[in-house]
Amino acid sequence: MLNLAWPWALWLLPLPVLVYLLVPRARRYDDALFVPFYQDVVKFATRQEDGVGRRGPVRMILAALTWCLLILALARPQWVGEPVALAASGRDLLLAVDISGSMRQDDMVMDGKPVTRLALVKQIVGDFVKRRAGDRVGLLLFGTEAYMHVPLTFDRQTLKTLLDEALVGFAGTRTSLGDAIGLAVKHLRNRPNRGRVLILLTDGRNTAGRIGPLQAARLAADVGVKIYTIGVGADEMLVRDFFGARRVNPSADLDEDTLQEIAGLTGGRYFRARDARELEEVYAEIDRLEPVEQESETFRPIRSLYYWPLSGALVLSYLVALLLTAPLLRRSREV
């Protein structure tokens, strides 16, 4: 159906008539430019016998139609389509991804090549996001600071694009688990009570922030936010140096006890991902979470139509100018 976004603009339709009636000077037709040797041209242009002069009926009708079309364009006509239902499983999934300095550790393997932890996370989480059709998904990035990169949205493609653009160190080199959870709680607390889920992925322990992770987890539990925590990083890695090859544990800083307690406090689960296969299995398990039904949402597609009356006004203006100049051109040929 047709709709006007700014219907109040229609009140401007009688404005020219009001100006003509209330402002005496508006009834005068003095020339703005006085050039003595153009008097014959001016007199000819203001002839009324042809009906298209300055006050001719044809010109007045065209001017009135032009004004009406301009006001109609200003009112922003729109075509509002039929309601379209948005499929919704009832979940609000907020993905919190660690981008601290340790996420550049290249102890993971993808397609037979060593890659950094963040590169693997981008691939696996990106595939996970693609599968979340019908869910609202948001992205929170954290390092020394935590910030909301993508608010909850149905636009999964944009979220995946912005995740791919994330770089290690954008939010600082340390890890603020507590601030990340606190910011997630702030954004999820106004969502439906039974559909708030935070998936927190990290490779370290809390080393920064203004709030402790367990304190933040208790706040999350109070408002009904369920947290699934994921510890990512290999258990051992072969390192070669001056003294030869030796095996080290690149995940020595991973605080699994705290991550388990965070999940336990909020009714979630803790997962450990040591390689690409295990990380895929983690998100596949999260995929199998029971959906929580919530009210379905609909939206109406809206298409702006203002350019039609605006184009009509421009055409009529051109026609008026053509009608006014045509007699002058004919007269110039006669002279």
Domains in the chain: boundaries: 2-81+301-334, 85-297
Q: Strand, coil or helix: what is 203? A: coil
- Whether 233 and 105 have beta carbons less than 8 Å apart is answered as yes
The DSSP call for residue 87 is: P
pLDDT tens string for the chain (335 positions)?
788 889 999 999 988 888 878 877 655 555 555 555 445 545 545 544 445 455 567 778 888 899 999 999 999 999 887 776 655 555 788 999 999 988 988 888 888 888 898 999 999 998 888 888 778 889 999 999 999 999 998 888 899 999 999 999 888 889 999 999 999 999 998 876 667 899 999 988 999 889 999 999 999 999 989 999 999 988 876 666 666 566 677 778 888 999 999 999 999 999 998 888 888 998 888 888 655 455 556 667 788 888 899 999 999 888 877 777 766 666 656 55
Please state, in angstroms and rounded to a whole number, the distance separating the CA atoms of residues 13 and 311. Answer: 18
With a CB cutoff of 8 Å and minimum separation 6, the contacts of 298 are: 83, 84, 85, 86
- Whether 230 and 260 have beta carbons less than 8 Å apart is answered as no
Fold (CATH) for 85-297: Rossmann fold (3.40.50)
Helical H segments across 107-176, by residue range: 117-130, 156-164
With a CB cutoff of 8 Å and minimum separation 6, the contacts of 119 are: 108, 110
Q: Strand, coil or helix: what is 55? A: coil
- Whether 153 and 162 have beta carbons less than 8 Å apart is answered as no
Please state, in angstroms and rounded to a whole number, the distance separating the CA atoms of residues 267 and 262. Answer: 9
Q: Phi first, then psi: give them for residue 45, nearest 5 degrees.
A: -70, -25
pTM value is 0.61
DSSP for 20-53, written as a single string: HHH-GGGG----SS--GGGHHHHHHHT--TTS-S
